[in-house]
């Protein structure tokens, strides 16, 4: 998409509310939204809890501010999921 930052900040409360609802309904440990801005080549990660913030901070070296973090470069979903799985595996 183009304008990911505007969408994320403009609909922040709605996004966080939906993430919370889905997490509760599905009994999930972690939930996130990844928005990709194709024009400016970055990802925005939106999370609704500190556990997910810590996990993503560790995996992608991110600092979250108000449930949002931005990572330069494009990371596709097919790349994100294996990194999460690897980080959560017991070694």
pLDDT score of 51: 93
Range of the domain at 77: 4-88
CATH of the domain at 33: 3.10.310.20
Question: How distant is the alpha carbon of residue 77 from its chain centre?
Answer: 10
Other CB atoms within a 10 A radius of the CB of residue 22 amount to 13
pLDDT score of 61: 93
How does pLDDT run across 55-89, given as a tens digit for each residue? 999 999 999 999 999 999 888 889 999 999 999 98
pLDDT score of 23: 96
The total number of structural domains in the chain stands at: 1
Q: Which of 27, 10, 8, 1 is nearest to 70 (CA)?
A: 8
DSSP assignments along 11-77, one per residue = THHHHHHHHHHHHHHHT-S--EEEEEETTTTEEEEEESSHHHHHHHHHHH----BTTEEEEES---H
Q: What angle do CA 87, 61, 69 make, to 5 degrees?
A: 110
How does pLDDT run across 2-59, given as a tens digit for each residue? 888 888 888 999 999 999 999 999 999 999 999 999 988 999 999 999 999 999 999 9
pTM of the predicted protein model: 0.86
pLDDT score of 90: 65
């Amino acid at each position: 998409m183009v304008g990911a930052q505007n969408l994320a900040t403009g609909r922040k409360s709605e996004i966080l509310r939906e993430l919370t609802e889905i997490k509760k309904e599905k009994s999930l440990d972690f939930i996130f939204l990844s928005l990709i801005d194709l024009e400016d080549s970055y990802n925005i990660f939106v999370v609704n809890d500190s556990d997910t913030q810590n996990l993503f901070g560790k995996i992608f070296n991110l600092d979250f501010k108000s449930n949002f973090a931005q990572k330069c470069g494009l990371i596709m979903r097919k790349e994100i999921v294996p990194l999460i799985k690897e980080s959560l595996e017991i070694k």
